[in-house]
């Protein structure tokens, strides 16, 4: 069983930055892929970024060049560094972790980009 605890969301002005963290806790284990989805009001949940256990990454076109996903395997934590934030980035951000053929989700953290 994996529990994901998210932090780092909040209100930021356009052009600002936020760093989201998602820490996986539980018994001793090795997580495979981790990543982030987001869901804006009235829209479907959309994949933002993912990272494999080996460090390979991919991003949604809308965030390429602005967001960076990384992970610290020793801490079982995945991060999302968000720079150059835009109002259209406003959404609830959900982290996930894949472990033993199951996908575990964080509770979500609100990111609001507004002046």
pLDDT per residue as tens digits for the range 50-89: 999 889 999 999 999 999 999 988 888 999 999 999 999 9
Report the relative pairing of strands 10-12 and 109-113 from DSSP bridges. Answer: parallel
Classify 110 in phi/psi space as left (phi over 0), alpha (psi -120 to 50) or beta: beta
Q: Report pLDDT for 27.
A: 53
Say whether pLDDT at 29 is over 90: no
CA–CA gap between residue 43 and residue 100 (Å, rounded): 30
90 pLDDT higher than 90: yes
Structure tokens at 103: 């996908």
Q: State the pLDDT at residue 60.
A: 98
- 30-43: pLDDT as tens digits: 788 999 999 999 99
pLDDT of residue 76: 87
Note the pLDDT tens digit of each residue in 2-20.
899 999 999 999 999 999 9
**Residues 79-99 as b or e (16 or more Cβ within 10 Å = b):** bbebeebeeebbbbbbbbbbb
- pLDDT above 80: residue 28: no
- Angle at alpha carbon of residue 39, lines to 87 and 72, rounded to 5°: 95
């Amino acid at each position: 069983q994996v529990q994901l605890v998210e932090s780092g969301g909040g209100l930021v002005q356009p052009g600002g930055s936020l760093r989201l963290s998602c820490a996986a806790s539980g018994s001793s284990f090795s997580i495979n892929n981790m990543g982030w989805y987001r869901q804006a009001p009235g829209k479907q949940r959309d994949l933002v970024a993912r990272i494999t256990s080996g460090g390979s990454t991919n991003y949604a076109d809308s965030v390429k060049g602005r967001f960076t996903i990384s992970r610290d395997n020793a801490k079982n934590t995945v991060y999302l560094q968000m720079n150059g934030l835009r109002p259209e980035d406003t959404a609830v951000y959900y982290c996930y972790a894949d472990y033993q053929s199951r996908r575990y989700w964080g509770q979500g953290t609100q990111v609001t980009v507004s002046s």
